[in-house]
């Protein structure tokens, strides 16, 4: 299957990376290489792209798609949150910029066999790295009712979380839930018909929640923000594209913590902890997709791009 993914906020993110043609840049969510192609296009033969993805198929597709560019390219199968070890393995201590596009790739959603989509019947999988052993089937069939309610409510922001969990427990007592189709039917049965008439597909939020749990997406993001900021060189930039409020909240909070690291109690008239920020904001508000982009790619609707820059001397 061909690896297709429409790169969201493409020109905005590439422009805001402020690319130095001889620099080292990381695409931590490589996918098929959409955003990476914009980076490679601006690098010369002395520049380097490091492409990271958990998905072997993505790395293979990106390597083929980026072959025409003459910059140095390094492809790594790993979690982007492990950036410090990835750089250490390459004998590198810093990078000039990085991009994280946190959306699930269209390829993964459209490839029914991967179990990410509630629109196609497939095994309950949802692993971004097919070599991992922990799957959506494990979550659905082994988590307690309390655990299921917690993740569906917290990660899916689903108001019917408790009822959906009850129905999942009841259903799996008859026989294990092993396919996306079975799970969708169970979720639909749990949500009252009046609530199913409006809004998104009734299974959307629960599928999102289970996918986040399977891939530890929020934990990975939380660890990654500081790790990337630590390895940025002077005036290097980190661009992060989020797709739902949970991701955006983490990015915003981590950025703010780094922008204001002072740990003094609020009642202190002056700072005595001596902690100073090593980063600065590039824009006051996140960049949102244009109407034109939304017409071409409705999946971009909830996307937000936030950018932060490492303080330092001009490169």
Question: So what's the pLDDT on residue 107?
Answer: 64
pTM of the model: 0.90
Fold that domain 112-215 belongs to in CATH: DNA polymerase; domain 1 (1.10.150)
* The pair of three-digit structure tokens given for residue 215, joined into one six-digit string: 């891939």
213 three-state secondary structure: helix
Are the CB atoms for 137 and 114 separated by under 8 Å?
no
Residues of the chain with pLDDT under 50: 1-3
Question: So what's the pLDDT on residue 64?
Answer: 96
Structure confidence by residue, pLDDT tens digits, 147-181: 999 999 999 999 999 999 999 999 999 999 999 99
Superfamily of domain 10-101+217-310: Vaccinia Virus protein VP39 (3.40.50.150)
Question: So what's the pLDDT on residue 1?
Answer: 44
Domain ranges within the chain, ordered by starting residue: 10-101+217-310, 112-215
CA 134 to centroid of chain Cα atoms: 18
- Torsion from C-alpha of 173, 176, 179, 181, nearest 10 degrees: -20
At residue 75, φ and ψ (nearest 5 deg) are -110, 130
Taking every pair of C-alpha atoms in the chain, what is the biggest distance, in angstroms? 65
């Amino acid at each position: 299957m061909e690896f297709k993914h429409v790169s969201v906020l493409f020109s905005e993110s590439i422009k805001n990376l402020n690319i130095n043609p001889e620099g080292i840049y990381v695409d931590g969510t490589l996918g098929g290489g959409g955003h990476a192609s914009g980076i490679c296009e601006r690098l010369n033969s002395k520049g380097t792209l490091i492409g990271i993805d958990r998905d072997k198929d993505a790395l293979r597709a990106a390597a083929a798609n980026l072959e025409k560019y003459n910059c140095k390219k390094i492809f790594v199968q790993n979690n982007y949150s492990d950036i410090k070890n990835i750089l250490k393995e390459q004998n590198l201590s810093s990078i000039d910029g990085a991009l994280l596009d946190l959306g699930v790739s269209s390829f993964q959603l459209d490839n029914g066999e991967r179990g990410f989509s509630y629109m196609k019947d497939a095994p309950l999988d949802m692993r971004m790295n097919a070599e991992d052993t922990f799957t959506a089937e494990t979550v659905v069939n082994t988590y307690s009712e309390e655990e299921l309610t917690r993740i569906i409510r917290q990660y899916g922001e689903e108001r019917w979380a408790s009822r959906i969990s009850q129905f999942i427990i009841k259903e799996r007592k008859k026989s294990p839930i092993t396919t996306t189709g079975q799970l969708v039917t169970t979720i639909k049965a749990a949500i009252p018909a009046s609530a199913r008439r409006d809004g998104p597909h009734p299974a959307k939020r629960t599928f999102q929640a289970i996918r986040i749990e399977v891939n530890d997406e929020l934990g990975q993001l939380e660890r990654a923000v500081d790790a990337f900021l630590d390895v940025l060189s002077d005036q290097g930039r980190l661009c992060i594209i989020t797709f739902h409020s949970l991701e955006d909240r983490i990015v915003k909070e981590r950025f703010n913590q780094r922008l204001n690291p002072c740990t003094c109690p609020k009642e202190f008239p002056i700072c005595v902890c001596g902690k100073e920020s090593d980063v600065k904001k590039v824009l006051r508000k996140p960049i949102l997709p244009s109407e034109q982009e939304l017409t071409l790619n409705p999946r971009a609707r909830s996307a937000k791009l936030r950018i932060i820059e490492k303080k330092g001397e001009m490169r």
